[in-house]
Amino acid sequence: MNDFGARNVDVVVVGAGQAGLSAAYHLRRAGLVPGRDFVVLDHAPRPGGAWQFRWPSLTYGKVHGMHALPGMELTGADGDRPSSEVIGEYFAAYEERFGLGVRRPVGVRAVREGDGGRLAVETSDGVWSARALVNATGTWDRPFWPRYPGQETFRGRQLHTAGYPGPEPFAGQRVVVVGGGASGTQHLMEIAEVAAATTWVTRRPPVFREGPFDEEAGRAAVALVEERVRRGLPPRSVVSVTGLPLNDAIRAARENGVLDRLPMFDRITPRGVAWDDGRTVEADVILWATGFRAAVDHLSPLRLREPGGGIRLEGTRAARDERVHLVGYGPSASTIGANRAGRAAVREIVALLRRGAADGESGRAADGESSPGSESSRAPDGESSRAADGESGRATSSGAADSLSGRRVPAPVVG
């Protein structure tokens, strides 16, 4: 702790979802000690990232493209269980396996310029002073609610995907679903089975994608999102450039009229929605499946935003501040992208810390301590560390090669 009451660490990781845990794993592999050299702060009440807040009807078997965290596979999961439970248990086991010591619930209120070239991370649990910061706060905390004339006059219920409880509460009701993404179509297909009537509205005609989504298509989609981030524009979701996969469930919903889309309405009335051409639809519920925005307001004191409204990145590093890395942001806002971003961020942070140590900023040389990421650094339990060199360290169903110690350990079974 310094003279001003702030606790000193080399790195603060904000968020313990996929991206934050990936970054923490790679920090530990690089030789930094959890709780001493870095700390992971998470505002959520329990492990699981944003997955813990998903609706119960989103079972693990319905999850598209859940990629394992580095160093430990999720094996034996029951596809019929809610994804919130399966992934929550997996994240909890992961935190325990690697001794990450996540602090929760801790809300980060602001990140400001601190003393001596450090960052001051102001939280609900006091202030941390750090030489670098990994921001892995995702988007779940910032649901996007569009505004339309008359919205405040609607006598029914309005809710967002962030508060979607599953289809049962909509039984016998007339529901308008707004949004053309994956969540919107999933909500609509579920609700249509129990509702009196459903109406689907989107700003643009939805694009359905035929055929497999291969690696080349994935790279092209990520490149489009990455280009916006490089230009300092707010990132778009990857699905916004990939389109919706045309699977059997989607085909059936299109054939039976559930996915008959209407253009966006022009205003909201006390009894429903209306278009300027005179068309109206009465509704009991308006469900806004309109996406999320990056939860980065706590970074505002650092003035990282560009004139275009986004934070320009060079890889994962904020172009305006080399101490700040954003993972799970823009092109890395997917489970596999978050894993890679965590590794890339740590590689640059370790280089930054080494430069600082060489310049005498860390003050450790006088104490005979090694710098983070050096060959003499050790994990908390004496295991030898390796550089964050891009190895996956993933487990298999027959056992995991523990990337920290080289031991063979049983892969945890979740489910």
Tell whether the model's pLDDT for residue 362 goes beyond 60. Answer: no
* Pairing, β 244-245 against β 208-209: parallel
CB of 265 closer than 8 Å to CB of 273: yes
Q: Could you give the CA distance from residue 11 to residue 373 in angstroms, rounded to a whole number?
A: 13
Three-class SS state of 317 = strand
Whether residue 247 is predicted with pLDDT greater than 90 in this model: the reply is: no
SS3 389: coil
Q: Which residue has the tokens 């794993």?
A: 25
Binned at pLDDT 50, 70 and 90, residue 339 comes out as: confident
* pLDDT > 90 in the chain, percent: 67
Q: Tell me how far CA of residue 207 lies from CA of 180, 181, 182, 210, 221, in angstroms.
A: 9, 9, 11, 10, 14
Strands 399-401 and 395-396: antiparallel
Pair of tokens at residue 144 = 């996007």
Q: What is residue 186's predicted lDDT score, i.e. its pLDDT? A: 93
Structure tokens at 189: 């297909």
Confidence of residue 189 (pLDDT cuts 50, 70, 90): very high
User: What number is the average pLDDT over the span 61-65?
Assistant: 77
Residue written as tokens 């523990």? 402
CB under 8 Å, gap of 24 or more: what pairs does 396-400 form? 396/73, 397/73, 397/75, 397/76, 400/71, 400/72, 400/73
Nearest-CA neighbor of 233 among 310, 293, 329, 331? 310
| C-alpha to C-alpha distance for 270 and 122, rounded to whole angstroms | 43
Considering only 156-170, 290-304, 333-347, 377-391, which range has the smallest mean pLDDT? 377-391
pLDDT tens digits for range 120-167: 999 999 999 999 999 999 999 999 999 999 999 999 999 999 999 999
